[in-house]
Amino acid sequence: MTSDTMRVGVPPWSTTNSICWAGRRRVAAGNFTPEDEGEVPRLGSMSLEWAHVIVHTAHPVELGQWWADALSWAVVWQSEDEYSIRPAPDQRPGLTFVTMRDAKVTKNRLHLDFYPDSQTAEVDRLLAMGAQRADVGQGSQSWVVLADPERNEFCILESRSPIGTQSAEGTP
């Protein structure tokens, strides 16, 4: 095996020849191919840097400012049709809000999850800022699904500190 190839399903540090869980799933589903056990090309180091998550919106400045306030992030670029924020001006990734006139029709295919210090306090703060509880069919869970003013869903996960370990009351 050359340095630019790897055995599928075997972590680079492993000396075993076992198939990974995903490989086993393909076997169980009847989708196993000889390539699953063979050598495949492997990229060296990643040459890409994640810059932004793009959010399409009818009102990029207003929604971008809402998120900047909600996250306490810095505004790094602003025009009539684009609004970019980051955790700090020199820190990536960020969120960029761009104009799209089409109305949102269904649940987002991508959403953001956040760990708060206190789930209850954070949910209350975001609701006071204009977020709304959202039901995307999640049932009773440990996280709370909210939507921003344009109904883009995001989740407030369980608190990561022992101080705020309770779930927000009325979790959808």
This prediction has a pTM of 0.65
23 and 81 inside one domain: no
Same-domain status, 58 and 19? no
Quick one: 99 and 140 in the same domain?
Answer: no
**99 with 121, same domain?**
no
- For residue 46, being part of any structural domain is answered with no
How many other C-beta atoms lie within 10 A of the C-beta of residue 160? 13
Query: Does the pLDDT value for residue 21 go beyond 50?
Result: no
Can you list the positions of beta strands (E) in 64-152?
74-78, 82-86, 94-99, 112-114, 132-133, 144-147
Q: How many separate domains does the chain show?
A: 3
| 85 vs 10, residue with greater confidence | 85
Q: If you count them, how many residues does the chain have?
A: 172
The verdict on 60 and 88 lying in the same domain is: yes
DSSP letter, residue 19:
P
Is the separation of the CB atoms in 66 and 130 below 8 Å? yes
| Percent of the residues in the chain that have a pLDDT greater than 90, as a whole number | 52
**Which domain covers residue 137, as residue numbers?**
106-172
Domain membership of residue 81 (yes or no) is yes
Average pLDDT over residues 100-128: 90
User: Is the per-residue pLDDT at 5 higher than 80?
Assistant: no
Q: Is 170 within a domain?
A: yes
Q: Provide the 3-class DSSP secondary structure of residue 120.
A: helix
Which has more pLDDT, 14 or 144?
144
Same structural domain for residues 24 and 80?
Answer: no
